[in-house]
Amino acid sequence: MVRKNRLDAVIEVLDNFLKTNFGGLSGSGRNNPAGNCNVERDSKEDRKKKKLAGELMRINHSGEVAAQGLYQGQRFFETDPHMRKYLEEAAIEEADHLKWTFEYMKSKDTKGSLLNPAWYFGSFTLALLVQSQGREKSKHFLAETERQVQKHLMRHLKTFPTEDEAAQKILKKMYEDEGEHASWAENSSSKNLTEGLSKVEKSAMKIMSKVMIELSKRI
């Protein structure tokens, strides 16, 4: 793999940012686990349920926007071809999640969070800071991020009604993918991951996640 020069890297990030936030980001080509998300237009009560479902999925959609920023940030200064290749492949899988959650939101007449650009660049900046501390730190950060995302997805699997098969199928597949990303980071690290991040750093990540969850649901 040929390492791109800094200008190419900047252009690549800007391209990813625009496509992530305004459409056009390519994924792996995997089909949406939920198939075609159908728009339901029935009673007033059904509209209320649709609104809530759309707002909940918007949280996950914003999370996938942030994921793109994280992976782009981790790749920006990375020089190891193996690490770069994996981060690129993982970002492509996360792009699938972005498309799936968007399709679900569209079926619920819900738009993405207005704060998505902030989530992207905030995550990109955070990833740059972590990556600057070394490759092992970056892997620890990746693993912890994905494990926290899994915990969030598990809560949402219990929050969404079981009869909402579309949401259940999407979230279950996302949970599976996030677990694989975390496992890769854990298994490829040369150090014990429990020593990688301090309790303060993990707590800060959880707080930031909660802020994004609450704001994305509302705005």
* Chain centroid offset of residue 124 CA: 12
pLDDT at 2: 47
Alpha-carbon torsion, ordered 127, 133, 136, 138, to 10 deg:
0
pLDDT higher than 50, residue 1: no
pLDDT at 16: 86
pLDDT higher than 90, residue 211: no
> Are residues 69 and 121 in contact, defined by beta-carbon separation less than 8 angstroms?
yes
Mean pLDDT, the chain, whole residue set: 83
Average pLDDT over residues 63-89: 88
Per-residue pLDDT reduced to its tens digit, 23-53:
888 888 888 988 776 545 545 557 788 888 8
Q: CB-based burial of residue 184 (10 Å sphere; 0-12 exposed, 13-18 middle, 19+ buried)?
A: middle
* Higher per-residue pLDDT: 196 or 99: 99
Tell me how far apart the alpha carbons of residues 139 and 181 are, in angstroms, rounded to a whole number.
Answer: 10
CB atoms closer than 10 angstroms to residue 45: 8
Sequence ranges of the domains in the chain = 6-17+40-218
Q: What CATH code is assigned to 6-17+40-218?
A: 1.20.1260
